Amino acid sequence: MKKSEFPDAFSEARGDKGTGQYDDQGDEVTMLLRLKDVRKTAKDWQTFRSQDERPGRIVVPTEVDIAVVRQIPFELDPPKHTDYRALVEPWFKRPDSPEYRKKIERIISALIDEVTAQKTTEVVEGFSLRLQSRALTVLLNLPYEEADTWISWGTHVFRSEDNPLDGDKAQVLYQYIDAQIERASQKAGDDLFSVLLNTEVDGRKMTKEEVKGVMVLTFAGGRDTVINALTNTIAYLGDHPEALEYIRQNPDKITFAVEELVRYFSPLTHMGRVVDEDATVCEHAAKASSRVSLCWASANRDETVFDNPNEVDLERKANPHVAFGFGIHKCLGATHARQLLRTLLSVLSQKVKAIHLLEADDKIEEWDDFHRKVGFDQLTARFEKI
């Protein structure tokens, strides 16, 4: 098997039943595996809620025991969700601007110069974590040097390797965010912390707790997902030199290529919802207050929708994937993630002749019967400069 091959972990269950079960510390989750069911359920926020009374419950595995704050707007439903989403959305659309792209381009270009000068690079820590962190300074509009702190946390800051629900680990992030909120409230700047503290909702300023809710979402939601998307893209281009050549020859096809890569990798496996009242999904009875999950990773390999779903086809034109979710809660950071990946492909194709993959350890998630490769614990590569 090639290093960049990511098998479909859900094929059999998706065809047979359309659902899977995951025992999440006693709070069982019914995983929805078919694209149509996932999209329909994601759309129906009235029946499948994100605003549970216990913050952390829609995350799988559940974070109810460690969540100290409600993530905003992600753990709200309309009408509240509508207001908060509208307030933060313009900020998260900034990545579409040419100035933003230029900043990201400079960051990527400098990093590629670093790695092409090295004999070998461990991609997860030495490339993806650094790029994710440095690019995040642009999204938050903080000084470039701030990334050094986030890089120093390592890849396992929010979850320890042996225990995904290690509350102490999450404290690093919470304390950092608290300190930044204090800093911004003493002396406002033009960064996201300051902007949020100055944002009005319901005729009053956003509270520190609400700002924290937005920032926890921004940091946690865009860390592992982005790191995996970046590493997996490097692995793919290493295994497929013809793809790097294709991008070099067809820079106008980068947008399509990125959508196909995120479909194939689906960096976030699934996300939960709480059933508001007894409902039926995929001929399955969903009881009130039980949980279902929208399995993006499975939906993106649905053979009833995608031709050759287990192959990366960079020219795939009709590609109705749900890698960034679907409906009102679709990924707030998607504009940033897309810009980052598009610019990465562009700069790589201009500066890198070939990527030679050396060693790899797969990162495998276990959801009871389903074992899914989602990325790499480590990937060593040599970047050969043009």
Name which position in 335, 343, 357, 363 contacts other proteins (CB under 8 A). 335
> For residue 48, which phi and psi values (nearest 5 degrees)?
-115, 100
Q: Is 317 in the site for other proteins (CB under 8 A)?
A: yes
Please report whether residue 309 would count as binding other proteins according to CB under 8 A.
no
Is 255 a binder of other proteins (CB under 8 A)? yes
Residues 206-245 that bind other proteins (CB under 8 A): none
Question: Which x/- pattern, by CB under 8 A, does the window 4-43 give for other proteins?
Answer: --------------------------------x--xx--x
Shorter beta-carbon distance to other proteins: residue 216 or 322: 322
When asked if residue 258 is in the footprint of other proteins (CB under 8 A), the reply is: yes
User: Is residue 101 at the binding interface for other proteins, with CB under 8 A as the rule?
Assistant: no
Distance between start and end Cα atoms, the chain: 28
Binding status of residue 337 toward other proteins by CB under 8 A: no
- Kindly state whether residue 82 participates in binding other proteins, applying the rule CB under 8 A: no
Asked if 250 is part of the footprint of other proteins (rule: CB under 8 A), the reply reads: no
Under the binding rule (CB under 8 A), the answer on residue 130 touching other proteins is no
Binding segment toward other proteins, per CB under 8 A, in 123-131, 169-177, 290-298, 331-339: 331-339
Q: Does residue number 320 form part of the binding site for other proteins (CB under 8 A)?
A: yes
329 binds other proteins (CB under 8 A): no
C-alpha closest to that of 349 among 108, 79, 148: 108
Which of 273, 316, 336, 372 is the binder for other proteins (CB under 8 A)? 316
- Residues in the interface with other proteins (CB under 8 A) total 21
Amino acid in the structure at residue 127: F
- Quote the least distance from Cβ 119 to other proteins, whole Å: 36
305 binds other proteins (CB under 8 A): yes
Residues that bind other proteins (CB under 8 A): 36, 39-40, 43, 255-256, 258-260, 305, 316-322, 330, 334-335, 338
